[in-house]
Structure 1
Amino acid sequence: MKNKLPIKSTWWGMALLSVWLLSACRKETDIVTPTTSSTATTENQTIDKWILENMQEYYYWNDKIPANPDLTLAPSDFFDSLLYSYDATARPDGDRFSWIEENADDLSASLSGESTTTGMEFTLYLRSQGSTSVIAQVLYVLPNSPAAAAGFKRGDIISKVNGQTITTSNYASLLYSGATTFSFGLASVQNSTLVDTDVARSVTATTFQANPVFMDSVYTVGGKTIGYLVYNQFVPAPNNSNGSEYDDQVDAIFSKFKAREVNELVLDLRYNPGGYTSSSANLASLIGKNIDNTKVYFREEWNSTLTPYLKQQYGDAFFLQRFVTKSQNIGGNLQRVFVLTTDGTASASELIINGLRPYMTVTTIGTTTYGKNVGSITIVDDSGKIKWGMQPIVFKSFNSLGQSDYSTGFTPTVEVQEPLNLLPLGDVNEAMLNEALYQITGNRTARRGVAEPNHLTSLGSSIQRKAGGGRMIKSLSNFKPIKL
């Protein structure tokens, strides 16, 4: 169990922190009293008051909260009613990321990489322009997961679920309803056309802890020694761990890179939606050139209500995340870093790009990133009476040069679309990695056939539906209560 951090009646801390709530003892009885409308309203008011109190203090846009919100609303609706919601025209600076969940334990677990899952992530596409039929293209499969055991691999195309053709009207109920048993029917690309096959694979989702360190490799090409890391979430350790197992694994990879005298680096964050800012700082500290624990990685801006109190109790250092001095740092051998990106690259991943740019050249390859320059905290009730968990946005981030201009994402330095026929991650002929190797060496490696271009319309991905979509979460250890 990770540290609990009290502020008033709230434990709050890193959203990826695992938080346990104490359950109130209940005496069993033979009489079951039905919940009345009045009882439900009273319960809603209790929860809503707790939500409102915390949002008024910690929410980044707390000055935009309505003066007289309706405390009889269901908690999720009430929470939404408080948000300074994004609108492209009226509120382009608005909130796209705050959310609330009914079970705080499930929230904490999912943010630590533990969830009920088949173990594969996918992007949904319209099968053809103007069609209502939908396909799911598998982006990656977690090792030792149910999907891996069933034989799924990157690039597989799913066209049916439980015997039903996926469509624009049923894909949510087929794929995101909370069901755990699936029979997936596959399609294949034949002569540039998607064709259904007779192949079907059955998978049962289980509670599974994902390791964010997906793969690493070292390539020697054109006299260059190139390190490659696929990193899919900023998580320091498994759920319910007090340790830093995953951060330690990243450290070990960079120790190997240093021993191999890696002088170019390709960081694959194309499917990384974010996570702990501490893990982001750890990774950046392994890469940055001429950095140490005196150099600023990023700075935070909190709301005007809370800022004076934070300054009074903790000083200006509270708002600064500095680099960490790491013996495994390879920045001395690097002049630049290449980052592979998609619209699934978000939050703490974008922090890497923005935070390293003042210190070295960061070349992005792929497609435009998600665009999240704000961070959140987890808020739960320490008494155990309220089981909900909130993840409100509480700060905006800036790099050491005061830059925070990526709310619409980072446009790639070199644009590369993922094709319809996906090669394995780490394959030197895979489209994005191949482009990075070309940018480094000037030598285009021979491709295994011509990649089928993917002109299909995307309907989003399973990665974007993970808790929070994109996450950049503040780690607050040894935090003392603040009285406002």
Structure 2
Amino acid sequence: MHKNLFTSGARAAFAGIACVIMLIACRKDNKTSPDPTTNPVNNPTGSQSQYEDSLKYLMYQIMQVTYADGGRTPSRGLPTYYWYSQVPSINPLDSKYADADSLLAAMKTYAINPGTTKPYDHYSFLDRNGVLTNKLFNGISAQTFAATNKGDFGFDYGVALDRSNNAHIYVLYADKNSPAGQLGVTRGWEIISVNGNSNINTSDAFLRSTYDAIFNSSSVTLGFRRPDNTTFTQTLNTGSYNVNPVVFDSVLTVTNPTTKVSKKVGYFSMYTFSSVINSNGQATFTRTVLDQLFSKFQAQGVTSLIVDLRYNGGGAVSTAEYLDNAIAPANAAGNLMYNTIYNDKIMAHISDVKLTTTTNYAAATSRLTLDNVFFITSGSTASASELTLNNLKPYMTVKLVGEKTYGKPVGFIDFNISVFDQNHNQKYLADLYAINFETKNASGVGGYYTGIDVDAPAVDYVNVAWGNTADDANLKAIVNYINNGSFTAPGARTATPELDNLRVGIPALKPVNGFNGMVDYERSRALRLNR
């Protein structure tokens, strides 16, 4: 369930304005347009347009004026938006903003990155049904506030072209607990029909209808071809499930062809950073899965670790911290993990708002003794994923293989926005995810807005199964490094789709799905509990 997510900022704002909204709404002679310095008119009957005005107003106040009292005392205000000082004064109720999303889109254009001459903020957004918050924070895939309330299928896919430019759809990953995962669907399976249509192509109409069928419907009938070339057709229905972010794990035995010395290498792939702690402060299924995983690695004596984050857009900061503590060497114990920097007004009153600016490693870090740690990354590796690997760099050698990461050194504190009608019933409007902070590791390194470069480029062949060290170019490069200190084996040829009939996913052929970000739910909890 989406429990107790009415954060202190939003809670205090509504406490300060709820009565004002009701009084204005009850005045029948109120014909004037809303003033940007006052609260918006809210119809006690709850018309959609007036709920939208409330959302626009409250979003603007939390970001630009103050989260503490609904903006009634701006001289003592504490705006939460990281780039608030670069946004001019705006009337959030101006008719040119059709909805809160268009207002937010306008606000995001003002802070310009001089290195790229483009806006820093292509991250902030509104979650209007609570799905993301529930999935990331509580580790439950269910649409708590959506009308359907039926969850999802639990997998993602990529579109690739073969040597004859024929289109193919491959499953990239599937959550083991999801409807797809329970069916056995996993990476490398090909989707050969969608709702009876086996004419797989790259037309806009087909690509859009396929996306909608898989991500925006409650039921879909898919034809599958397994790697062994067997086929079957199955109807999937959306479902609610405990998120299992680890889609694959294995302990690989890597043997040096010259010395014949074998090493144990732990390998796992995570598709999201669902939180290890839920909204009630309890351990989630994600925490249980990760505890079991690292216990297995320890028991089997792994000396190198491969963390596959090629499809991981991030999520909860608590999970990044868990992974860092599980991977870091003993010399990191008790030392600085990373710094959190807020806007100047929040930083000036940091003790008053009860937020912390430093996060340290645990007193005792990993029980693993690692010679190497490798991260497999891509342009979809973002935010909390980048935070994880960046935090480790001051304390151990970290190698990146694959493609340059997405580039998001900033994150969110979740603000849940709701209003009350004349009967004092709470009406959920949205969760606000607007950039609130930046992070830097113990060496002061951050600011990677254009991504983090890899040590060895490698292609992602989307029809290759998890853990395939023969055909997965990323794993092949890492095995070479473990054996001889170089990502390229002596005399090896580079695999290509033309030579090996492997498939490369083409991002432009599928709309982006999923979340790119890092959310600090624990600092959100701190704001709520310390008001």
- Judge same fold: TM > 0.5, yes or no: yes
Q: How does 1:226-375 map to 2 (within 5 A)?
A: 226-237=265-276, 242-245=281-284, 246-314=286-354, 318-326=356-364, 328-330=366-368, 333-375=369-411
Between the two structures, name the one with larger relative contact order (CA 8 Å, sep ≥ 6). 1
8 Å Cα contact 2:188/2:226 also seen in 1: no
Q: 1:6 to 1:118 in 2, by over 3 A?
A: closer
Q: 1:242 to 1:148 in 2, by over 3 A?
A: same
2:501 to 452, 468, 475: 452
Deviation at 1:451, TM superposition (A): 4.0
The residue aligned with 1:169 is 204
The residue aligned with 1:183 is 221
8 Å Cα contact 2:275/2:315 also seen in 1: no
Q: How does 1:40-51 map to 2 (within 5 A)?
A: 40-51=48-59
The residue aligned with 2:176 is 143
- Counterpart of 1:399 in structure 2: which amino acid? N
- Counterpart of 2:157 in structure 1: which amino acid? F
Q: How does 1:12-161 map to 2 (within 5 A)?
A: 39-56=47-64, 57-71=79-93, 72=95, 73-84=98-109, 91-103=117-129, 105-112=130-137, 113=139, 114-115=141-142, 116-125=151-160, 135-150=168-183, 152-158=185-191, 160-161=193-194
The unaligned stretches of length 5 or more in structure 2 are: 14-42, 65-78, 143-150, 255-260, 420-425
8 Å Cα contact 2:60/2:92 also seen in 1: no
8 Å Cα contact 1:419/1:452 also seen in 2: no
Deviation at 1:324, TM superposition (A): 1.6
Deviation at 1:313, TM superposition (A): 4.8
CA distance in 2, matches of 1:356, 1:390: 30
CA distance in 1, matches of 2:295, 2:226: 41
Which one has the largest radius of gyration?
Answer: 2
- Secondary structure (helix, strand or coil) at the match of 1:229 reads strand
8 Å Cα contact 2:109/2:121 also seen in 1: yes
Deviation at 1:381, TM superposition (A): 3.0
CA distance in 2, matches of 1:203, 1:182: 5
- Counterpart of 1:282 in structure 2: which amino acid? Y
CA distance in 1, matches of 2:163, 2:241: 34
Structure holding more helix per residue: 2
Q: 1:213 to 1:420 in 2, by over 3 A?
A: closer
User: Identity of aligned pairs, percent?
Assistant: 25
8 Å Cα contact 2:408/2:451 also seen in 1: yes
- Secondary structure (helix, strand or coil) at the match of 2:429 reads coil
Deviation at 1:238, TM superposition (A): 8.2
Aligned residues: CA RMSD: 3.8
The residue aligned with 1:29 is none
CA distance in 2, matches of 1:271, 1:226: 21
CA distance in 2, matches of 1:85, 1:162: 44
8 Å Cα contact 1:123/1:459 also seen in 2: no
Q: 1:229 to 1:43 in 2, by over 3 A?
A: closer
In the alignment, does 2:439 pair up with 1:397? Answer: yes
Q: 1:290 to 1:159 in 2, by over 3 A?
A: same
CA distance in 1, matches of 2:333, 2:171: 40
- Secondary structure (helix, strand or coil) at the match of 2:464 reads coil
Please, which moves more after superposition, 231-240 or 403-412? Answer: 231-240
CA distance in 2, matches of 1:389, 1:203: 29
CA distance in 2, matches of 1:319, 1:379: 19
CA distance in 2, matches of 1:5, 1:205: 27
Deviation at 1:49, TM superposition (A): 1.1
Q: Deviations over 1:303-362 (max 9, x none)?
A: 1122211244547xx1111112346432xx224311111222111111121111111110
Q: 1:292 to 1:242 in 2, by over 3 A?
A: same
Q: 1:58 to 1:135 in 2, by over 3 A?
A: farther
CA distance in 2, matches of 1:353, 1:153: 26
The residue aligned with 1:215 is 248
Q: Deviations over 1:177-218 (max 9, x none)?
A: 6212222345799xxxxx9x9864432222233211333322
CA distance in 2, matches of 1:128, 1:393: 43
CA distance in 2, matches of 1:451, 1:324: 46
Deviation at 1:456, TM superposition (A): 5.8
The residue aligned with 1:7 is 8
The unaligned stretches of length 5 or more in structure 1 are: 13-34, 190-194
CA distance in 2, matches of 1:309, 1:337: 39
Q: 1:8 to 1:204 in 2, by over 3 A?
A: closer
- Counterpart of 1:343 in structure 2: which amino acid? G
Deviation at 1:293, TM superposition (A): 5.0
Q: How does 1:396-435 map to 2 (within 5 A)?
A: 396-423=438-465, 425-431=466-472, 432-435=474-477
- Secondary structure (helix, strand or coil) at the match of 1:407 reads coil
- Counterpart of 2:11 in structure 1: which amino acid? T
Aligned length: 445
Q: Deviations over 1:429-448 (max 9, x none)?
A: 3412232222112396999x
CA distance in 2, matches of 1:416, 1:481: 46
CA distance in 2, matches of 1:334, 1:187: 38
Q: Deviations over 1:147-179 (max 9, x none)?
A: 245553321233542234454423234323621
> TM-score of the superposition, structure 1-length normalised?
0.79
Structure holding more strand per residue: 1
- Counterpart of 2:251 in structure 1: which amino acid? V
- Secondary structure (helix, strand or coil) at the match of 2:60 reads helix
8 Å Cα contact 1:134/1:168 also seen in 2: no
8 Å Cα contact 2:221/2:236 also seen in 1: yes
8 Å Cα contact 1:127/1:456 also seen in 2: no
- Secondary structure (helix, strand or coil) at the match of 1:49 reads helix
CA distance in 2, matches of 1:198, 1:335: 42
CA distance in 1, matches of 2:296, 2:184: 31
In the alignment, does 2:513 pair up with 1:465? Answer: yes
- Secondary structure (helix, strand or coil) at the match of 1:387 reads strand
